[in-house]
Amino acid sequence: MTSAISCRSVCKTFSAGAIAALKDVDLVVEEGEFVTLVGASGCGKSTLLRTIAGLETHDSGSILVDERPIDGPGVERAMVFQNYSLYPWLTVTQNIKFTRLLAAHTRDCSSADVEVAAGRADALLKVMGLTPVADAYPGQLSGGMQQRVAIARALMSRPRILLMDEPFGALDAQTREVMHDLILHVSRLEHCTVIFVTHDVEEAIYLGRRVVLMAPRPGRIDTVYEVPLPAARTQDMKHQSGFLRLKQEILERIRATSGLKTDFDLLQQLSRQTTNT
Ligand SMILES: Nc1ncnc2c1ncn2[C@@H]1O[C@H](COP(=O)(O)OP(=O)(O)OP(=O)(O)O)[C@@H](O)[C@H]1O
Ligand SMILES: [Mg+2]
């Protein structure tokens, strides 16, 4: 297997004297692999993703994509954010085609190119179940629909690497389940390599071939878990004992590494003060 992404000893500190956001991060992701990233708030998940996307620089270490050091963002990498980030004044179809439109304006584009792009946009609309709302504006769509548009837009340029930062964080549990099966299906169909950040351990296990757990202060990789499930996932697997055991193990490790705990003495003090006033 060739590696799609190779991070070696990646370090990043945002300002002098601050604790490192990333310290000696080593992560190799194989072509076509789906890796999920979990960990306590502030452990550097978004920073790592943004650095791989080329949206942040790193201080030392190396990040190779297809064996070549990255130099800023590239068309082979697409990012999907939690807040959809659609253009509200463009329709669903126009949002999906937006990057292609920009490309067509900045360099020569044959009519054949435009036709191919239109065909791909139509196919993406279909696979994402967006054809009925193709001419609607983002403000007229539910959160789940908006996120499907954002994913379709990211896929429009045929990226080989999809970087997703808590993309389903704002969705309800049922919509999330649908999105999980959709993203697994589409990533396999498109042969995408995916790094997917989430706070939801169940989501991380269900989607990932490996779950990478990061820990904070400094931001680092703590443990990498192989998910003991077949590549084709089904919702009922979430109830299997192996799945539940792994979920428990990861949750305990996040708790242990987060440095956060409930201070019952402080809560009692607060409750006494509240009842005395
Ligand atoms: N632009 C920035 N400027 C300064 N510090 C930053 C910046 N972005 C992130 N940090 C710091 O880097 C560390 C890692 O932040 P990051 O956003 O990567 O964490 P995270 O794991 O994604 O957290 P969360 O789960 O809350 O999204 C934190 O200490 C954060 O305060
Ligand atoms: Mg984050």
Q: How far apart are CA 241 and CA 150, in angstroms?
A: 35
CB 89 near ligand 1, within 6 Å:
no
Of all residues in the chain, the percent with pLDDT exceeding 70 is: 93
**DSSP-assigned beta bridge partners for residue 6:** 28, 64
Tens digit of each residue's pLDDT (9 = 90 or more) over 153-176 = 998 888 999 999 999 988 888 888
pLDDT of residue 1: 65
275 lines ligand 1 (CB under 6 A): no
Between 48 and 190, the more confident residue is 48
Q: Which tokens hold the place of 32?
A: 């076509």
At residue 266, the pLDDT reads 81
- Does the pLDDT at position 211 exceed 90? yes
pLDDT of residue 128: 87
127 band by pLDDT with thresholds 50, 70 and 90: confident
Closest C-alpha to ligand 1, atom 16: 44
- Residue 246's pLDDT is what? 98
Mean pLDDT, residues 84-93 taken together: 91
69 against 263, higher pLDDT: 69
The β-bridge relationship of strands 3-12 and 22-30 is antiparallel
Enter the tokens of residue 251.
């949750």
Q: Whose CA is nearest to atom 26 of ligand 1?
A: 41
Ligand with an atom nearest the CA of residue 17 = 1
Mutate to test the pocket of ligand 1, among 10, 43, 213 (most ligand atoms within 8 A of CB): 43
The CATH topology of domain 3-76+159-276 is Rossmann fold (3.40.50)
CB of 50 sitting under 6 A from ligand 1: no
User: Cβ(43) to ligand 1 under 6 A?
Assistant: yes
The stretch 28-38 carries a mean pLDDT of: 97
Angle at which helices 111-127 and 92-106 cross, to 10°: 160
Query: Ligand 2 (ion): which residues have CB within 5 A?
Result: 46
**Domain edges within the chain:** 3-76+159-276, 84-158
Measure 271 CA to ligand 2 centroid, in angstroms: 32
Is residue 218 reached through a cis peptide bond, with omega within 30 degrees of 0 on the bond before it? yes
What residue owns the CA closest to ligand 1's atom 28?
42
What CA–CA distance (Å, rounded) separates 269 from 187?
A: 51
| CA atoms 259, 265, 269, 275: torsion sign | positive
Q: Where are the beta strands (DSSP E) in 97-252?
A: 161-165, 193-197, 210-215, 220-226
Q: Which residues of 99-113 are buried (b: 16+ CB within 10 A; e: fewer)?
A: bbeeeeeeeeeeeee
The per-residue pLDDT for 98 is 84
CB of 213 closer than 8 Å to CB of 41:
no
Q: Which ligand is nearest to the CA of 213?
A: 1
What does each C-alpha distance from 11 to 20, 27, 221 come to in angstroms? 7, 12, 12
What pLDDT shows up at residue 257?
93
Mean pLDDT, range 238-259, rounded to an integer: 95
Beta partners for 165?
A: 197
Q: Output the residue whose Cα is nearest ligand 1's atom 17.
A: 46
Strand 210-215 and strand 22-30: pairing? Answer: unpaired
Ligand 1 centre distance from Cα of residue 148 (Å): 26
Q: Tell me what pLDDT residue 108 has.
A: 58
Task: Specify the 3-state DSSP secondary structure of 108.
Answer: coil
Question: What pLDDT score was predicted for residue 161?
Answer: 96
Between the CA of 83 and the centroid of ligand 2 the distance, in Å, is 12
Q: Indicate the average pLDDT of the chain.
A: 90
Q: What is the rounded average pLDDT of the residues 176-198?
A: 92
Question: How far does residue 219's CA lie from ligand 1's centre (Å)?
Answer: 9
Ligand 1: does its nearest atom lie under 6 Å from the Cβ of 41? yes
Closest ligand relative to 42 C-alpha = 1
Q: For ligand 1, atom 18, which residue shows the shortest CA distance?
A: 44
Residue 115 pLDDT exceeds 70: no
216 in contact with ligand 1, CB cutoff 6 A:
no
